[in-house]
Amino acid sequence: MYIYVPLLFIIHVQIGYIEILIIILVTVKDCMKYLSILLLATFVVAGVAVSGCMDSEEVIYDTSIVLQDGSSMVYDLAAGTYKVQIVSDTKIDVTFDSASTYDSKGVTVYDQVFTLGSATKMKVENPSFLGLGLAEPANVQIKVTKNPADV
């Protein structure tokens, strides 16, 4: 003689913006019969849930700007790993207020991957020519990726 006691399993999975809610209603007899399948499914769901917690690549900035002589743009960066790619048609300076290790002056191409332990500001500047405004404007393309996949 079997006692049929209903069991309700609710499995919630969230991957990015997709949420899946699985509701399973089984009896104790069915549960014992399919215990190995339920355990396997639980491990698969747990694996998917844990892998979803890993940081994924995110493009923070992807823009083109024109910097006049002596002008600059400042970008806020939180702690984390970044790939910064900057290309300019004239020499520019790239500086960080709390991570001067990654500073570069007088470059037309800046391509670095680094990890910041704390928040910082990245400044991209078209250095002034004697402060007279006589230097050419810099056409700059900036792409900043957080948690780059190709590190």
Task: Kindly write down the DSSP assignment for every residue of 95-132, as one continuous string.
Answer: EESS-GGG-EEEEEEEEEEEEESS-EEEEEE---STTT
pLDDT along the chain (151 residues), means of 10: 58 65 59 57 53 72 94 94 96 93 95 94 88 78 92 67
- Beta carbons within 8 Å of 83's beta carbon, 6+ residues apart: 111, 112, 113, 144, 145, 148, 150, 151
**For residue 82, what pLDDT is reported?**
95
**For residue 116, what pLDDT is reported?**
94
> Which domains are assigned to the chain?
6-51 (no CATH), 58-146 (2.60.120.680)
Q: Yes or no: say if 125 and 71 are a contact pair by the CB < 8 Å rule.
A: yes
**For residue 98, what pLDDT is reported?**
87
